[in-house]
Amino acid sequence: MFSGINLFWIILVGSAFLMLVGFGLRERNLGISLMGLGLLGAMGSVIYKIYITFGG
């Protein structure tokens, strides 16, 4: 469906968007949760990039 590098960029941009929205709502629990999901997405994109570079 998506090539490896396109999926990497989609995950990275989506996680940056989640972190930005979460930072705007940081006074609420929803904002903290969105920043956490964005952080997990950013770490996931790095792990995915390592996977497509060395293993996949």
34-51 average pLDDT score: 91
Rounded to 5 degrees, what angle do the CA atoms 38, 42, 44 make? 115
Band of residue 49 on the pLDDT scale cut at 50, 70, 90: confident
pLDDT per residue over 12-33, tens digit each?
999 999 999 999 999 999 999 9
Task: Give the Å distances, CA to CA, from 24 to 2, 8, 17, 40.
Answer: 31, 25, 11, 18
In whole angstroms, what is the distance from residue 24 CA to residue 3 CA?
32
Q: Around Cβ 46, how many Cβ atoms within 10 Å?
A: 13
